A and B are shown apart, each in its own frame.
Chain A
Amino acid sequence: MDSNILAKIREDFPILETEINGYPLVYLDNAATTLKPKYVIDRLSKHYLYETSNIHRGVHFLSQQATTYFEEVRDKVKNYLHGNSTWETIFTKGTTGAINFVAQSFGSLLESGDEVIISQMEHHSNIVPWQMLRDRKSIVLKVAQMDERGVLDLEHLESLITEKTKLVSITYLSNALGTINPVDKIVEIAHSKNIPVLIDAAQAIAHITIDVKKLDIDFIAFSAHKMFGPTGVGVLYAKKQLLEKMPPIDGGGDMIASVRFDKTIYNTIPYRFEAGTPDIAGVIALGAAIDYINSIGLKNIEEYEHELLQYGTQKLSEIKNLRVVGTSPDKSSVISFVLNGIHPHDVGSLLDSKGIAVRTGHHCAQPVMEFFKIPATTRASISFYNTKTDIDRLVDGILYVQSIFE
């Protein structure tokens, strides 16, 4: 990316001007949440300052205007994911909310002994909802293995499939390892047995161009806050044909067509699944975040981040007593690592003292840590506003940590 463009982009994020412990902030915790550009915050605040109104059914100007802006975001999501009228956008509280909804609603259609397949590299939000379903409905939860590089074992995944398998639910991009999974092959394997696929795109959404049409994904879940939008909002983008069969989980306003004490008729999809007043401003701001990404171009972002990831991986691998955890040939945006003899929490605290924000811990993926037989890692995760200088500061920071523990 051109350095002038990069400088201009960085100006969109006022938080990058702040100092932490006397140093300019190096923000490398993008996999936890991305920073928010002023453009998105302005859209959020414009709604509350000048457009506040509830959506749907209002006849007054403000309500109709808010409804229009809110509903437009469904189309923005559709275009961002390269979907069409085969799919529908359902607004949720986030990726976790979306997966839990599928586990409860689609899950209610499963019978005892039916199987759901996940993988060893899932975030807790794509493990626990299925364990809860297992306990509720006596389904069987199967786990596809990965190898020591953090690459999914497709043959093992295929071998787990039986006539009882009803869903395959896998992450697009591992938040703990940075592995990009071959979604095309996963869908091909599952669809050859008529099994729908749920893709957890929480980590992928801001880093990888996703084409649901080409990939033929059945359910895909993501959060606004990992793509420069506000927290508390997310999306389940799903095939209408599947949604039509699924029961609503929350009852209340907006999800009904008519209510009488003897019988209530539900609204059509997607409204049937969106009971109560949603986060209107948050959804509209998600739309603004999508516009913002499009203004830079996701292709440009992918290209630049790939360059940064390679630069970072190269620089980090030159450091003695450092091991990168997650070495798939197909990676994006995440470098997890461990330092010999130094606990990640000490690494994180000492990097923080130099103004460098990284995440330390199990990254909500305890089974991944167990697989690599480590309690935790330090994770640097990048976004398009990061620079090679940020990586250099990280490298200097790691050398400083090692000097303290010499």
Chain B
Amino acid sequence: MNQNELYQQVILSHNKSPKNFGKPESFTHWAEGFNPLCGDHYFIYLTIEDNVIKNVFFEGEGCAISKASASLMTESLKNKTVEEADSIIKKFHDYMTLSEGDLKELGKISVLSGVKDYPARIKCATISWHTMKQAIETPVSE
């Protein structure tokens, strides 16, 4: 795989104009993800109602791979039930870290599949997903 394929147009455009980027006025769940090794730093904000992820936002700073991955993730998990989201997160994680299954069934996210061939960059792709999992489990304290 060539690095040009790693930096595909979809990834570059999500990096440039990330979807669902920013801190919403209200949210029910949130989490912070930080990789001190590279400085990638993201926040995930969720609104979960009746077990459905009604709204997803993220904000933070990082490399193009991490930002595009977060942006694509927010698109794919919006309006999913918590169980569906968990299953997608697990599929993505298993593919990236264990090379199990493939990303085709996850739609657009499959543009990230090349990252797996760059061991030093896998954490860039997975940081927002780890943070998402944590956010789902972390309601805003009253």
B39 touches A369 (CB 8 A): yes
Instruction: Report the minimal beta-carbon distance from B66 to chain A, rounded to whole angstroms.
Output: 8
Q: Tell me, in angstroms, the Cα distance from A65 to B125 when the chains sit together.
A: 54
B38 touches A375 (CB 8 A): yes
A362 on the B face (CB < 8 A): yes
- Report the interface size for chain A: residues with CB under 8 A from the other chain: 20
Shortest Cβ distance from B115 into A: residue: A349
A346 touches B61 (CB 8 A): no
B121 touches A343 (CB 8 A): no
A405 touches B12 (CB 8 A): yes
Q: Tell me, in angstroms, the Cα distance from A280 to B2 when the chains sit together.
A: 42
Q: Tell me, in angstroms, the Cα distance from A66 to B120 when the chains sit together.
A: 40
Within 8 A of B (CB), among A348-393: 349-350, 352-353, 360-362, 366, 369, 374-376
B61 touches A404 (CB 8 A): no
Knowing A353-B3, A375-B39, A376-B39, say if A345 contacts B65 (CB, 8 Å).
yes
A108 on the B face (CB < 8 A): no
B38 touches A361 (CB 8 A): yes
Instruction: Report the minimal beta-carbon distance from B59 to chain A, rounded to whole angstroms.
Output: 15
Q: CB within 8 A of A349: which of B3, B12, B39?
A: B3
Contacts of B37 in A (CB 8 A): 361-362
Q: Tell me, in angstroms, the Cα distance from A353 to B118 when the chains sit together.
A: 11
Q: CB within 8 A of A345: which of B2, B4, B15, B121?
A: B121
Contacts of A362 in B (CB 8 A): 37, 39
Contacts of A345 in B (CB 8 A): 38, 63, 65, 121, 124
Q: Tally of A-B residue pairs with Cβ under 8 A?
A: 52
Q: Tell me, in angstroms, the Cα distance from A405 to B37 when the chains sit together.
A: 23
Contacts of A353 in B (CB 8 A): 2-4, 6
Q: Tell me, in angstroms, the Cα distance from A404 to B121 when the chains sit together.
A: 18
Contacts of B61 in A (CB 8 A): 375
As a 0/1 sequence over residues 1 to 27 of chain B, the CB contacts with chain A under 8 angstroms (1 = contact) are 011101100001001100000000000
Contacts of A112 in B (CB 8 A): none
Contacts of A343 in B (CB 8 A): 62-64
Instruction: Report the minimal beta-carbon distance from B54 to chain A, rounded to whole angstroms.
Output: 31
Shortest Cβ distance from B16 into A: residue: A405
Interface-centre pick from B4, B12, B38 (highest chain A CB count, 10 A): B38
Q: Which size class do B's interface residues fall under? A: 20 to 34
Instruction: Report the minimal beta-carbon distance from B141 to chain A, rounded to whole angstroms.
Output: 29
Instruction: Report the minimal beta-carbon distance from A4 to chain B, rounded to whole angstroms.
Output: 35
B107 on the A face (CB < 8 A): no
Shortest Cβ distance from A401 into B: residue: B7
Q: Tell me, in angstroms, the Cα distance from A31 to B123 when the chains sit together.
A: 24
B78 on the A face (CB < 8 A): no
A21 on the B face (CB < 8 A): yes
Q: Tell me, in angstroms, the Cα distance from A350 to B120 when the chains sit together.
A: 13
B63 touches A346 (CB 8 A): yes
Q: CB within 8 A of B121: which of A21, A349, A375, A405?
A: A349
Contacts of A349 in B (CB 8 A): 3, 6-7, 118, 120-121
Q: CB within 8 A of B38: which of A342, A352, A376, A405?
A: A376
Contacts of B39 in A (CB 8 A): 362, 369, 374-376
Contacts of B40 in A (CB 8 A): 375
Instruction: Report the minimal beta-carbon distance from A26 to chain B, rounded to whole angstroms.
Output: 15
Q: Tell me, in angstroms, the Cα distance from A349 to B11 when the chains sit together.
A: 14
Knowing A345-B124, A346-B64, A349-B118, say if A21 contacts B3 (CB, 8 Å).
yes
A350 touches B124 (CB 8 A): no
Knowing A353-B3, A404-B7, say if A346 contacts B38 (CB, 8 Å).
no
Q: Tell me, in angstroms, the Cα distance from A263 to B118 when the chains sit together.
A: 56
Instruction: Report the minimal beta-carbon distance from B97 to chain A, rounded to whole angstroms.
Output: 18
Instruction: Report the minimal beta-carbon distance from A398 to chain B, rounded to whole angstroms.
Output: 14
Q: Tell me, in angstroms, the Cα distance from A375 to B121 when the chains sit together.
A: 16
B41 on the A face (CB < 8 A): yes
Q: Tell me, in angstroms, the Cα distance from A346 to B65 when the chains sit together.
A: 8
Q: Tell me, in angstroms, the Cα distance from A343 to B63 when the chains sit together.
A: 5
Shortest Cβ distance from B62 into A: residue: A343
B7 touches A346 (CB 8 A): yes
A to B CB contacts below 8 Å, 6 in the list:
A21-B3, A345-B63, A353-B2, A362-B37, A376-B39, A405-B15
| B residues in contact (CB < 8 Å) with A | 2-4, 6-7, 12, 15-16, 36-41, 61-65, 118, 120-121, 124
Instruction: For the complex of A and B, list the 10 residue pairs with the smallest distance between their C-beta atoms, beginning with the closest.
Output: A375-B39, A353-B3, A343-B63, A345-B63, A346-B64, A346-B63, A376-B39, A345-B38, A404-B7, A350-B3
In addition to A346-B7, A346-B65, A404-B4, 16 A-B residue pairs with Cβ atoms within 8 Å of each other are A342-B64, A345-B63, A345-B121, A346-B63, A349-B6, A349-B7, A349-B121, A352-B3, A353-B3, A366-B36, A375-B38, A375-B39, A375-B40, A376-B39, A405-B16, A405-B64
